[in-house]
């Protein structure tokens, strides 16, 4: 077995090239990518990465929720694998690194072991998890949630497309990823995910790597407000039941909570009025709420505070509230051993490192339910993500790949 971890480095140019090639699928004018889960673009992105997995000699399996897992055999066929992965679906008008870096760096680990003809005790598995973003189907992290046994396949298959015309199962079939492999999936010995930080911390502190300690709790809801459509000119203000006004209150209420509750973030990302005409008082408003906090008690306080405030605003306006929960996940805590391996990898690579929680959700959040899990963060320029200008410097991409390789190699030998 030529070479040990000390000399083991990925082919950074190959990883960067893979990122650039994948970004051409669903490419957007501003240099980002859009491959919404279970759309033809998502299917094409999977097809491309799957072909690279096959070229690398990985044995491919596709499970019932469309997760694609490529396996590189280990010397001990009975040993549980080390799984590396992330996602290749994106948000609308998203970036080229979110998720894609983690999948392609995982593949690069396999390619590097192949280049050096290194056999490992444990098998290596490279995973593309379905619908991490939750842009069209909820909840997010759906593929890894099903893989980890957090949602049954029938319920996931029955989810309906945003326009209600198709089921998730029909869309999976349409893109050729309604697989046979069983879920919940086999439990790995460990799961490690490389991801861009998607926030400003590493860049601001001039730190090379994040050793991620866990993921904050999250609640997503879709709220429908029903008032009374009426004439914008003739309806006296005191007679109005304006769903739009209550929706506006909701946005400001969400922001106010973040001023009152430590560590609280809140976002109203989508809002629509009906009938949505200049001269009609909005009879209906639909909006989404995304609230997150690393502390579960504070997250609950934010949820209670938001909805009691919304009830009061709706009561004043004579508007009715309907709630639909889209995602609710408690905070995830990563494995101390894996976190320490990330810190050791950073040191071995001569990089600086800090422990930090993740503000974003990740597939690692779900895999931490079933096996020792950790993540490696690399800096996001300007802290920007979920935006076509999302950028991570080439040297940080390569460093992240080497950190993932170093952590994986230690686990593959264990």
Q: Which does 185 bind (CB under 5 to 8 A by kind): Mn ion, ligand HGY, none?
A: none
Instruction: Tell me the closest approach of the beta carbon of residue 195 to Mn ion, in angstroms.
Output: 6
CA dihedral 148, 151, 153, 158 (to 10 degrees): -150
* Position of minimal CB gap to Mn ion: 99
SS3 category, 44:
helix
Q: Which does 361 bind (CB under 5 to 8 A by kind): ligand HGY, Mn ion, none?
A: ligand HGY
Where are the strands (E) in 45-163, listed by range? 59-62, 68-72, 82-86, 124-128
Instruction: Tell me the closest approach of the beta carbon of residue 125 to ligand HGY, in angstroms.
Output: 22
Distance between CA atoms of 356 and 1, rounded to whole angstroms? Answer: 35
| Residues at the interface with ligand HGY (CB under 6 A) | 132-134, 140, 360-361
Task: Confirm or reject binding of residue 34 to Mn ion (CB under 5 A).
Answer: no
Instruction: Tell me the closest approach of the beta carbon of residue 98 to ligand HGY, in angstroms.
Output: 7
Instruction: Tell me the closest approach of the beta carbon of residue 249 to ligand HGY, in angstroms.
Output: 25
CA dihedral 332, 161, 128, 21 (to 10 degrees): -130
Residue 226 vs 267, nearer CB to Mn ion: 267
Residue 134 vs 217, nearer CB to ligand HGY: 134
Residue 210 vs 227, nearer CB to ligand HGY: 210
Of residues 98 through 157, those in contact with Mn ion by CB under 5 A are: 98-99
Residue 264 vs 365, nearer CB to Mn ion: 365
Instruction: Tell me the closest approach of the beta carbon of residue 337 to Mn ion, in angstroms.
Output: 23
Instruction: Tell me the closest approach of the beta carbon of residue 200 to ligand HGY, in angstroms.
Output: 16
Instruction: Tell me the closest approach of the beta carbon of residue 79 to Mn ion, in angstroms.
Output: 28
Task: Confirm or reject binding of residue 42 to Mn ion (CB under 5 A).
Answer: no
Q: Which residues contact 116 (CB under 8 A, 6 or more apart)?
A: 2, 3, 8
Please answer whether residues 383 and 199 qualify as being in contact, where contact means their C-beta atoms are separated by less than 8 angstroms: yes
The continuous run of DSSP H or E covering 192 comes out as strand 190-196
Task: Confirm or reject binding of residue 95 to Mn ion (CB under 5 A).
Answer: no
Residue 98 vs 396, nearer CB to Mn ion: 98
Distance between CA atoms of 246 and 225, rounded to whole angstroms? Answer: 8
Q: Which does 65 bind (CB under 5 to 8 A by kind): ligand HGY, Mn ion, none?
A: none
Q: Which residues contact 392 (CB under 8 A, 6 or more apart)?
A: 97, 101, 196, 378, 379, 380, 381, 400
Please answer whether residues 91 and 135 qualify as being in contact, where contact means their C-beta atoms are separated by less than 8 angstroms: yes
How many C-beta neighbours within 10 Å does residue 138 have?
17
Q: Which does 34 bind (CB under 5 to 8 A by kind): ligand HGY, Mn ion, none?
A: none
Burial of 77 (0-12, 13-18, 19+ CB in 10 A): exposed
Q: Which long-range contacts does 20-29 make (Cβ < 8 Å, 24+ apart)?
A: 20/96, 21/48, 22/48, 22/49, 22/88, 22/96, 22/100, 22/104, 23/96, 23/100, 26/90, 28/93, 28/388
Instruction: Tell me the closest approach of the beta carbon of residue 101 to ligand HGY, in angstroms.
Output: 13
> The tokens 């209670």 sit on which residue?
304
Q: Which does 99 bind (CB under 5 to 8 A by kind): ligand HGY, Mn ion, none?
A: Mn ion
Distance between CA atoms of 139 and 325, rounded to whole angstroms? Answer: 9
Residue 129 vs 273, nearer CB to Mn ion: 129
Residue 81 vs 99, nearer CB to Mn ion: 99
Residue 193 vs 249, nearer CB to Mn ion: 193
Q: Directed axis angle between helix 12-23 and helix 100-115, to 10°?
A: 140
Q: Which does 140 bind (CB under 5 to 8 A by kind): ligand HGY, Mn ion, none?
A: ligand HGY
Residue 326 vs residues 49, 146, 338: alpha-carbon distances, Å: 29, 15, 31
**Residue span 49-88 as binding mask against Mn ion, x where in contact by CB under 5 A, dash where not:** ----------------------------------------
Instruction: Tell me the closest approach of the beta carbon of residue 50 to Mn ion, in angstroms.
Output: 19
- The site for Mn ion, by CB under 5 A, has a size of 2
Q: Which does 143 bind (CB under 5 to 8 A by kind): Mn ion, ligand HGY, none?
A: none
Residues binding Mn ion (CB under 5 A): 98-99
């Amino acid at each position: 077995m030529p070479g040990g971890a000390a000399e083991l480095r990925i082919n950074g140019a190959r990883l960067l090239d893979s990122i650039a090639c994948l970004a051409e699928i669903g490419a957007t004018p501003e240099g980002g990518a859009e491959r919404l889960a279970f759309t033809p673009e998502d299917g094409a992105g999977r097809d491309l990465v799957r072909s690279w997995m096959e070229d690398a000699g990985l044995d491919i399996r596709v499970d019932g929720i469309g997760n694609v897992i490529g396996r590189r055999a280990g010397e001990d066929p009975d040993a549980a694998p080390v799984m590396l992965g992330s996602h290749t679906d994106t948000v609308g008008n998203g970036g080229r690194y979110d998720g894609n870096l983690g999948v392609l760096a995982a593949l690069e680990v396999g390619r590097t072991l192949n280049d050096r003809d290194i056999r490992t005790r444990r098998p290596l598995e490279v995973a593309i998890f379905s619908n991490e973003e939750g842009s069209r189907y909820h909840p997010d992290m759906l593929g890894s949630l099903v893989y980890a046994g957090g949602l049954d396949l029938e319920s996931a298959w029955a989810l309906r497309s945003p326009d209600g015309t198709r089921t998730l199962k029909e869309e999976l079939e349409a893109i050729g990823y309604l697989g046979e492999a069983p879920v919940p999936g086999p439990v790995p010995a460990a799961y490690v995910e490389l991801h861009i930080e998607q926030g400003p911390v590493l860049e601001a502190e001039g730190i090379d790597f994040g050793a991620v300690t866990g993921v904050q709790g999250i609640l997503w809801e879709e709220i429908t407000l029903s008032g009374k459509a009426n004439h914008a000119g003739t309806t006296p203000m005191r007679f109005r039941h304006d769903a739009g006004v209550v929706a506006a209150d909701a946005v400001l209420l969400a922001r106010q909570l973040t001023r009152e509750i430590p560590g609280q973030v809140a976002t109203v990302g989508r809002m629509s009025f009906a009938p949505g005409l200049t001269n009609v008082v909005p009879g209906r408003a639909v909006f989404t709420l995304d609230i997150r906090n690393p502390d579960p008690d504070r997250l609950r306080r934010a949820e209670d505070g938001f909805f009691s405030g919304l009830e009061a605003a709706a009561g004043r306006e004579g508007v009715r509230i309907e709630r639909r929960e889209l995602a609710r996940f408690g905070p995830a805590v990563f494995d101390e051993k894996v976190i320490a391996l990330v810190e050791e990898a950073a040191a071995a690579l001569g990089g600086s490192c800090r422990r930090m929680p993740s503000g974003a959700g990740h597939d690692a959040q779900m895999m931490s339910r079933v096996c020792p899990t950790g993540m490696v963060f690399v800096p996001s320029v300007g802290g920007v993500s979920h935006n076509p200008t999302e950028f991570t410097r080439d040297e940080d991409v390569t460093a992240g790949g080497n950190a993932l390789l170093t952590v994986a190699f230690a686990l593959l030998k264990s």
